[in-house]
Amino acid sequence: MSSRPSPAAAVVLGAGVSAVLAAGWLIHGGERPRPPASPDSRPPRVTLPVSSPARPPDLPWPASGQAAVRVAGQPGSLRTHGEQRPVPIASLTKVMTALVVLTDHPLTGTAEGPSIEVDRQAATEAGNPDESTVPVAEGQRFTERQLLELMLIPSGNNAARLLARWDAGSEQAFAARMNATAARLGMRKTTYTGASGYEDTTVSTAADQLELAEQAMRNPVLRDVVATARTTVPGVPGAIVNTNKLLGLPGVVGLKTGTSTAAGGALLWAVRRPSGDRDRLVLGVVLRQGEPGDTLGERKAAAFAASRRLIAAVQRPR
C-alpha cells in the first residue's frame, strides 16, 4: 500500500510569488491641476511622472546550464536563464511518458487500472547495471498505476519502456505519440526518441519542460505519484524511494530527477507557495548542471543545490 502526501490542490495566484516572477509593472500618476488659461499667456507646462519598470529581485540562477521558473496558470510569468537550446534531458522524459499513458488510459481517484504483464525485454533490462531499472521478472503482473510508480518514483527505465510497448505496441510508435503531444503543448524545441530518456537524442529546453510540467500537474494521478516520497509495490522487494530528495522541503510536491553523462544533472520541480488562505503552484527546472569531469552523483547534487536556491527565493515573503 502506498504512503503519500495529499494530492496537490488546484492552484491559485500568490502576490508574493508574482512579485518575484513578474517581468515588471508600470507606476502611473495623474496630472497636476491646471490654472485657468489667460489670453496673453501659454498654458502652463504640466510634468507627468515618468512610467518606469519596477524590477523584481533577481532569482539566484545557476552558474551554468539553463533554467526556468513560472507560476502555473499565470500567463507572462515565465522567466528563463541561459540559452534555450535543445539539450539532453535524461529521465525528465518520463513525465511525458506518464502524461501520454494517462491520456490514453485515464485513471481516476485511487483506481489501479488494467493489469499489465512484464515481458521478456523488461525482465532482461532489469539486470542492466548501466541504467536505472526496477527488479521485475517475466510473467509478473502489475497494474497501470503500479508501473507508473515504478517508472516515476525510483525512475525505472524498463518500466517506462514496458508502458510504452503496452500503450502503443512499440517504443517507436509511442515516441511518435510523445512528439505529437509536445507539439500540441507548444514545445517547439523538444524531440522525444524513446520513453525513458536514456537516449541522448531526446532533447528539450527549460522553457519547454515547464509547458509540460504545467500540463502534467493538472492530472490528479500523475500529481499524486510524483509527490510520493516512499511506497511499496507487491512483487518488488523493499521500499521504493523517490529519487527526488526535494520532497523533504516544505511545499515541494514533485516532480522528476534526471541525470546522465550527456544531460548532466537535471531536475524538474513543483512547489506550493501559500498566499493567504490559498496556494499558488510554482514550477521550475534546471538543466545541464555540474562541471565537465564531475561524476553523475556530483552532477545530480549540483541540480539539487541549484533547485534549492531557486525554491527558497520563490518562497521568500515579499
pLDDT of residue 318: 63
- For the chain, the domain total comes to 1
pLDDT of residue 46: 39
First-to-last alpha carbon distance for the chain, in angstroms, is 41
| Assigned C-alpha cell, 15 | 502576490
Is 301 domain-assigned? yes
Neighbour count for residue 299 (Cβ, 10 Å): 22
pLDDT of residue 15: 43
Is 29 domain-assigned? no
Q: What is the DSSP letter of 34?
A: P
The CATH number that applies at residue 130 is 3.40.710.10
pLDDT of residue 174: 98
pLDDT of residue 276: 61
Q: Which residue range is the domain that position 207 belongs to?
A: 15-23+59-315
Is 204 domain-assigned? yes
Q: Taking a C-beta distance cutoff of 8 angstroms, is the pair 66, 288 a contact?
A: yes
Is 190 domain-assigned? yes
Q: Taking a C-beta distance cutoff of 8 angstroms, is the pair 280, 292 a contact?
A: no
Is 44 domain-assigned? no
pLDDT of residue 273: 86
List C-alpha distances in Å: 123 to 97, 126, 159, 180, 285.
19, 5, 10, 29, 32
| Assigned C-alpha cell, 58 | 533577481
Is 184 domain-assigned? yes
| Active centre residues (catalytic) | 91, 94, 155
Helix (H, G, I), strand (E, B) or coil at 26: strand
Pairing of strands 203-204, 87-88: antiparallel
**What one-letter code names the amino acid at 295?**
T
In angstroms, what is the C-alpha Rg of the chain?
23
pLDDT of residue 279: 80
Is 36 domain-assigned? no
Q: Taking a C-beta distance cutoff of 8 angstroms, is the pair 257, 266 a contact?
A: yes
Is 30 domain-assigned? no
pLDDT of residue 243: 97
pLDDT, averaged in runs of 10, over the chain (318 residues): 42 42 35 44 41 54 97 94 97 98 96 98 96 97 98 98 98 98 98 97 98 97 98 96 95 97 97 78 97 95 98 86
